[in-house]
Structure formats: C-alpha cells, structure tokens
Amino acid sequence: MTTTWGAGWALLRRDMRLGIRQRSEIVMPLMFLVLVCTLFPLGLGPDIPRLREIAPAVIWIAALLSSLLALNHLFAEDFADGSLEQLVVSEHPLPWLMMSKVLAHWLISGLPIVLLSPVLAFSYQLPADGTAMLFITLLLGTPTLSLIGAIGVALTVGLRRGGMFLALLVLPLFVPVLIFATAGVVSTVSGLPDTSHVFFLTAMLVLALTLAPFAVSAALKISLS
Amino acid sequence: MTEAYSAVQPARGNGYYTALCDQPSGTRMLEIEGLNFSRDEEPILRPLDLAVDAGQVLMIRGSNGSGKTTLLKLLCGLLPVTEGRLTIRMDGQPVEPVDPAFRREHMYIGHQLGLKLDLTSLENQNFFAAFFGSDLATPRESLQRVGLEGYAHSVARRLSAGQKKRLSLARLVLNRHRFWLLDEPYSNLDQAGINLVDDLMTEHTRNGGAAIVTSHGTFVPQVPDLKEIIL
C-alpha cells in the first residue's frame, strides 16, 4: 500500500524524468522567451533608456506567453496514453496528484524561465535591484500561471484545437499576475515602494495553490467523462 | 480461435501472485440492476442486470460500439452512474465506485495502457510500484512474470504492441486488488500472451478476486469459473 505523499512523490519524479528526457519541453519555451526578448531591441533600436523602461513588461509578457506555450503539454500526453484515467480512478486524492503534476511542470518549464531572467534583465540593462525584483516576481508569478493555466488545460484536454481555446480561456486570468509583477519591477526601478506588489503576488500564489488543484480535478473529471 | 487456444495448456501457478483477497469464493462482489447509460439522449448501453461473485471471471462480449468500455468506465467510476443501480460489495458492505475503499481494491487497465513510452519497462514498473504499492512482487519480478525480464531497460516505445500489452499487465502482479477491470486484455497478444492473461486471472480468482474483462473476439478464456454476457 502506498501513502498519498508517496504517490505524489512518485508522480513528481516520473514527470521530472520524462521532462528531462523530452528536452524539447525545457528548451522550446526558453528559446521562445529569448527570441521574443531579442526581437524588441531589434525593432526599437539601441535606445537604452527606452529599452530599460519597457524591459519589465517585455520580459514578463514573453515569460507569460512562454508559460502558455508549455502548458499545452501538461496533460496532453497523459490523456492520450491513458495515464490520466489511471490517476483519476486511483485511491489517492486527485487534487494532490494534480498538485504534483503542476509542480513537476513548473520545475521543468517555469523554473528555467526564472533562472534565465537575470540574463535577460542584464541584456536590457536593468539595474541590479530591478533585476532582483524581476527574479522575485517571476519566482512568485510563474507557479501561479502554471496553476491557473492547469485549470484551462484540464478543461480543454479532450478538445481538438484545444490550444486556441486554452489561450482565450487563461490569458484573461493571467492579467492580474502580469499587472502586479510588472508594476512591482517598475516601482523598484523608479525607487517607489514595491513590497505591496510582492504581497499581492504571494497572495495570488497562495490562493492558486489552495484552490487550483481542486478546480483542475473537477475539470479533468468533466473532460474524461 | 477457441480450438487453437484450447490446445495449449498454460503453465499455472508461478508463485508470484500468492495473496489472499480475504474473500471466500462465491461471495457476491458486484450487483448491477437496470444499469444503462446514454450520452446526449443517445443510448450507449442498454439496461443491464448482472452479478459477479468472488472467484469469478466475467467476460463481457460485444461488437464494436456495444458499450463494453462504457460499462467498465461506469464500474471504475470514470463515468457517473445516472440510470439504474450499481452495487459493489466489499466484505459484505455496499460501496460506491468512487469510494476510496473500492478504488484501493480495483485495478483498471483501459484501451490506452497508461504506459510512458519514453521510459523503460523497469522505470514504468517502478512508477506503478511506487504509486499503487508493491506488496506482492518487485518491479523486476513483475517483468519476469510477464516474460519481459530481458526488456527491463528497453524504452517502452521500442516494444512491440504485444510487449506493451504485457508490460501493462505487469502492474496486476505488483499488488493485491480484489477487482480487475480489463478492457480487451487479449488484444495484440500471441498465444503465449493469451495464456499469460489466463494464468494471471486464474491465480487471481483462486485467491478470491474477481475479474471483469471485455472482448470483441469469440475465444473462451481458460479460467475455472467463467461467466459470460453479450452486450
């Protein structure tokens, strides 16, 4: 007999192993992020103050779209190969299992974005405190995006052309995270108080951690039936 | 198919599956009364009455689209029971398909086998052992039981369809589950594979378990207590 904790850990390890083996899951969103961030200076020209000004929004929007790109893979393979059915009919609480899956997904596709952000910030010549704030907002914001996005993926997993629906469904839900995150970095760079933005992002993460696994479970059951 | 199959006597009792299900043979484990299912007012399953006892294998036969998979999905709780009555008995007590007590005691293997093709056979089994428990056999022993000991480090994607089916069956050997719900377990298998499925079900039912399997074929499984219905 396996404990719920053990089952979640087993699922996390398996998904991490799969993610590392299928390297495109890590590389593609990162490549997308880097490409989008590179295109802006090419389009706007070498106007450093202007680039520095738009850097928080550009990097965050690129990170958001990159997360969206990676989200498509969250349940697609599990749905196709029958693994999702195995999880749903297992004795273990589905929300807990979904938490494991989303965590694995974030570690594979979200954390690399966070770790890459100082390099991108440097390329836009963001000051050190702005770079640190960008790192913090991404660290708090990208897991929230994964959790919110997982609800949309669970609802659209059985649909043909679900990717388009997914974007329409979850992008509006990503907006509060985007607003508070970019505002936080802009406040830091401008020397304004920024802690309230971090608190809001933390609150959104806690809320998503608490509610999203249940919403994902309910959505998956609907999709599978 | 039936004649060809009957000519081969499977080797029984390899000793890996030795658990007792604590359920005397003949004890009623499942009752269905007037169960049916429709989607968008289109009937998928006609009203059905049946019962399964401990020690029995229920073979559900039917042509494509007759509702075999739907019935299994109703039994394992993937689909909600909206019409009719489904009573599952665990130690004499009725439980729902979504009850954790039942979920702990059943193993469902559907059309899609639940295998990760980018993992090796052993890695797949390691996951199932960690997820479902492995009280009866280690992952390596389970691979040995289904004849895949030589493929432990082969990536599942490179296995043949029959070997993938065997790999999916290997999870039955890992732990004790009273109910086996198997969707087309004989598909893609050669004669030795068919014998293997019968072996596993024979050992399972002798130990007080019950199995519900579907097939669109006509051959008869070689198990001690077989019951058949046609959808």
Instruction: State how far residue A61 is from chain B, nearest Cα, in angstroms.
Output: 32
The pLDDT of residue A108 is 93
pLDDT in tens, A63-79: 999 999 999 889 989 99
pTM for this model (two decimals): 0.87
Find chain A residues with C-beta within 8 A of B132's C-beta.
Answer: 2, 90
How many contacts (CB atoms, under 8 Å) link A and B?
A: 72
Instruction: Using alpha carbons, select from A87, A104, A35, A115 the residue that is nearest to residue B131.
Output: A87
Listed in sequence order, the residues at least 6 apart from B109 whose beta carbon sits closer than 8 Å to its beta carbon are B168, B169, B171, B172, B180, B181, B182, B183, B185
pLDDT band at B23 (very low <50, low <70, confident <90, very high): low
pLDDT in tens, B147-176: 999 999 999 999 999 999 999 999 999 988
Instruction: State how far residue B123 is from chain A, nearest Cα, in angstroms.
Output: 8
A47 vs A209, residue with greater confidence: A209
pLDDT band at A225 (very low <50, low <70, confident <90, very high): confident
Q: Which of A7-11, A191-195, A204-208 has the lowest mean pLDDT?
A: A191-195
Q: Are B173 and B119 in contact (CB under 8 A)?
A: no
pLDDT in tens, B34-48: 777 887 777 777 788
* ipTM value for the complex: 0.88
The pLDDT of residue A1 is 67
The pLDDT of residue A119 is 94
Instruction: State how far residue A5 is from chain B, nearest Cα, in angstroms.
Output: 10
pLDDT in tens, A115-157: 999 999 999 999 999 999 999 999 999 999 999 999 999 999 8
**CB-CB under 8 Å, B77 with A89:** yes
Which chain B residues have any C-beta within 8 angstroms of a chain A C-beta? 76-80, 100, 103-104, 106, 108, 110-119, 123, 127, 130-133, 135, 175
